[in-house]
Structure 1
Amino acid sequence: MAAVIRAFRSSSSSSTFTNYFIRRSLSTAASSSATPLKSESFTPLIDTKDKNVQWVFLGCPGVGKGTFASRLSVLLGVPHIATGDLVREELSASGPLSKQLTEIVNQGKLVSDEIIISLLSKRLETGEAKGESGFILDGFPRTVRQAEILDDVTDIDLVVNLKLPEKVLVEKCLGRRICSQCGKNFNVANINVKGENGNPDISMDPLLPPPQCVSKLITRSDDTEAIVSERLRVYYEKSQPVEDFYRNQGKLMEFKLPGGLPESWPKLLEALNLDENEDKQSAAV
Structure 2
Amino acid sequence: MAVTFFVLAGALPAAAACEAVTGVVEAFNAGDEDKARTIAAAADGTTCSANERTLVGRVAALTTFNRIATDVGNGGRLSDHQADLEDLQKRFGGPWQVFDALGDLARERKDYEAAARLYQLALEDGANETLTPDWMAPDPDYILRLDRLAGEMRLASPRPVQLAMRGGCKVSFRGVAIKKKSTPVRYVFGTADFTPEGVEAAKDLAECLKSVKPAAITLIGHTDPVGSAESNYRLSLARAETLAAYLQTAGFPGRIATVGKGEDEPFKPDDATAYDTETLNQLHRRVDVDVEP
TM-score in terms of structure 2 length: 0.26
Give the number of the structure whose alpha-carbon radius of gyration is greater.
2
Greater relative contact order structure (CA < 8 Å, 6+ sep): 1
Structure number with the higher helix fraction is 2
